[in-house]
């Protein structure tokens, strides 16, 4: 443990972080889009142990934000990449929680990223770029996304730009279009989710159903440029219709769907669930296509 860490562990208060010198900060979290981070800002703030990723060997940051209880050994590993800002006793730098709550008049923080954006506003950083903050629909971010977007809104109030990376699900509807408009929508899906849909759609049935299936499969199958960019290899079993794949790097892509296709898939997966036949691997797909679209009026 460093001298500074020992001092803090004895109960003394960690110093506040200096005001960032840069007018452009990268906030790096642990979603898949972390791998497209350009590391071109002189100020980089890391979430937890993200910089310990093998692919970031040699990369360091300016601050590591960590708020969970942590062993001394793990704290040292993170500290080797960047000083730790927290209110925990392993902190190198004190996170000014009371000051931030007083400044903004709220205690609404849903995760570490919420604290980071709030800190950026408090420190008057003009622009923050987000990488690895994917917040996909259908996972833990259904609980946490609202807090992140709340603080993005608070930043906008003060003229601070928060820029999600390509592939992030932040600041978009599940359909990707303004509510109540248009006859088409976009949904962001990972490669794994696209193949799950392909492998759980029916292979036989009425013409209208098979026609809808063929269009959905054509839309969702990775295109040649995606296979090259993300190193996707595909193997299809002609008899069973099942598709196996390998991918060099998972990534969420915006998938355009005509509303007729979206509505057909909605009804199909809803029907499977009502019959008790929903495959376990399709639960996230069901949540995205059915549960999350039932929050308001139907199309």
Q: What is the pLDDT along the chain (299 residues), one digit of tens a residue?
A: 333 333 344 334 456 555 555 589 999 999 989 999 999 998 999 999 999 999 999 999 999 999 999 999 999 999 999 999 999 999 999 999 999 999 999 999 999 999 999 999 999 999 999 999 988 776 667 788 899 999 999 999 999 999 999 888 888 776 666 665 555 567 788 888 888 898 898 989 988 888 888 888 888 888 888 888 888 888 887 777 788 888 888 888 878 877 778 888 888 999 999 999 999 988 888 888 887 665 433 33
Question: Same structural domain for residues 115 and 83?
Answer: yes
CB 269 within 8 A of CB 277: no
Question: Given the structure tokens 């595909």, which residue do they identify?
Answer: 234
Question: Same structural domain for residues 117 and 221?
Answer: no
- pLDDT value of position 174: 65
Closest C-alpha to 250, from 168, 166, 192, 186: 192
Question: Same structural domain for residues 248 and 155?
Answer: no
Question: Same structural domain for residues 203 and 148?
Answer: no
- pLDDT value of position 245: 83
In a domain, 38, yes or no: yes
- pLDDT value of position 138: 66
In a domain, 227, yes or no: yes
183's tokens: 């006859």
Q: What is the DSSP letter of 127?
A: E
Question: Same structural domain for residues 191 and 266?
Answer: yes
- pLDDT value of position 8: 41
CB 175 within 8 A of CB 185: yes
Question: Same structural domain for residues 103 and 212?
Answer: no
Q: How many domains does the chain have?
A: 2
- pLDDT value of position 12: 45
In a domain, 25, yes or no: yes
CB 131 within 8 A of CB 37: yes
Residue 40 sits in a domain whose CATH number is 3.90.1480.10
The parent domain of residue 188 ranges over 184-293
Question: Same structural domain for residues 113 and 210?
Answer: no
Question: Given the structure tokens 């809104």, which residue do they identify?
Answer: 153
In a domain, 141, yes or no: yes
Report pTM.
Answer: 0.65
- pLDDT value of position 143: 81
In a domain, 178, yes or no: no
Question: Same structural domain for residues 26 and 83?
Answer: yes
In a domain, 214, yes or no: yes
Question: Same structural domain for residues 195 and 138?
Answer: no
Question: Same structural domain for residues 134 and 224?
Answer: no
Question: Same structural domain for residues 28 and 144?
Answer: yes
**Residue at which a domain ends, from 100, 132, 164:** 164
The pairing of strands 63-65 and 43-47 is parallel
In a domain, 174, yes or no: no
In a domain, 137, yes or no: yes
Question: Same structural domain for residues 19 and 154?
Answer: yes
Closest C-alpha to 111, from 60, 151, 169, 170: 151
- Long-range Cβ contact pairs of 84-92 (< 8 A, separation 24 or more): 85/17, 85/119, 89/8, 89/9, 89/11, 90/5, 90/8, 90/9, 90/66, 91/8, 91/14, 92/2, 92/4, 92/5, 92/8, 92/14
């Amino acid at each position: 443990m460093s001298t500074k860490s020992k001092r803090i562990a004895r109960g003394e208060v960690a110093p506040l972080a200096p005001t960032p010198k840069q007018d452009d900060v990268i906030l790096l979290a642990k979603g898949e889009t972390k791998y497209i981070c350009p590391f071109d800002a002189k100020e980089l703030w890391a979430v937890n142990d993200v910089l310990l990723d093998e692919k970031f060997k040699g990369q360091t940051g300016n601050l590591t934000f960590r708020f969970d209880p942590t062993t001394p050994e793990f704290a040292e590993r993170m500290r080797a990449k960047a000083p730790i800002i927290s209110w925990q006793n392993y902190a190198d730098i004190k996170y000014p929680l009371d000051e931030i709550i007083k400044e903004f008049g709220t205690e609404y923080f849903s995760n570490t990223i919420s604290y980071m954006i709030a800190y950026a506003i408090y420190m008057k950083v003009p622009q923050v770029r987000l990488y690895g903050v994917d917040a996909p629909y259908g996972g833990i971010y259904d609980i946490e996304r609202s807090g992140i977007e709340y603080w993005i809104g608070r930043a906008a109030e003060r003229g601070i730009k928060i820029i999600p990376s390509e592939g992030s699900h932040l600041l978009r509807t599940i359909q990707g279009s303004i509510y109540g408009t248009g006859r088409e929508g976009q949904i962001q899906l990972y490669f794994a989710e696209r193949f799950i849909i392909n492998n759980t759609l029916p292979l036989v049935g009425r013409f209208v159903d098979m026609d809808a299936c063929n269009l959905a499969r054509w839309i969702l199958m990775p295109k040649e440029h995606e296979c090259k960019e993300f190193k996707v290899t595909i193997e299809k079993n002609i008899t069973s219709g099942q598709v196996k794949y390998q991918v060099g790097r998972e990534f969420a892509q915006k998938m355009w769907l005509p509303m007729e296709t979206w509505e057909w898939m909605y009804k199909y997966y809803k029907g499977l669930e009502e019959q008790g036949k929903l495959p376990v691997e399709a639960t996230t797909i069901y949540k995205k296509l059915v549960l999350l679209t039932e929050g308001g009026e139907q199309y």
